[in-house]
Structure 1
Amino acid sequence: MTHRVSELTVPESAWFKSSYSSGEGGECVEVAAASDAVLVRDSKQSAGARLVFDLEAWSGFVRMAVER
């Protein structure tokens, strides 16, 4: 299940950019791992809303993305 929440936080140092980010602007996302979830945010709006995926949902998403 995917939730949009702002209460779950991780240290700023935990965030890393997608390997597909070029550093030239555009569409970039950052990801951080929490103890029982994976957080995703827009790198251009780091203080904005974050998507939180439980570990099962994140694993399914990654598996689907790799298969494509």
Structure 2
Amino acid sequence: MADGLDKGAEKALKERKEREKDELYSLDISGVEWHSAPGTEEHEERVEIAYLPEGAVAMRSSLDPDTVLRYTEAEWRAFVLGARDGEFDLEPAPHNGGLEQGAGAAQQEG
């Protein structure tokens, strides 16, 4: 019987998440204020985000402003925490098991 409850709970969670996504994508965001990283110029390619109700976030590329991705508060929080933890680093960094550039060569020589 526990399996039935687990499957039922999983189904309810999946349905709730789908409902949240549907609501999120039905929002009119035509008047939102888009933000980008400080120091970027209008003509530069950059990622832009807009804060939506209930902690949700919209994201787009400045080169393709008509394509907008939307994230619930939980999705955005997971992404930001993962980015802070180095999950999306392009090259290994000291905090996630890699070596700083230059430091690796010095350690290998010594």
Does the 8 Å contact 1:38/1:52 carry over to 2? Answer: yes
Gap regions ≥5 residues in structure 1: none
Structure-2 separation of matches of 1:33 and 1:18: 14
Name whichever structure is richer in helix by fraction.
2
Point out the structure with max Rg over C-alpha: 2
Deviations, residues 10-64 of structure 1 (Å, cap 9, x unaligned): 324x111134x743624x1100001031000111222x11000000000000000
What one-letter code is carried by the residue in structure 2 that aligns with 1:42?
Answer: S
TM-score, length-scaled by structure 1: 0.69
Alignment RMSD, CA only? 2.5
CA distance in 2: counterparts of 1:49 and 1:6, whole angstroms: 12
What is residue 64 of structure 1 aligned with on the other side?
82
8 Å CA contact retained: 1:38, 1:55: yes
In the alignment, which of 38, 41, 59 is matched to residue 40 of structure 1? 59
Aligned residue pairs, count: 62
TM-score (norm 2): 0.46
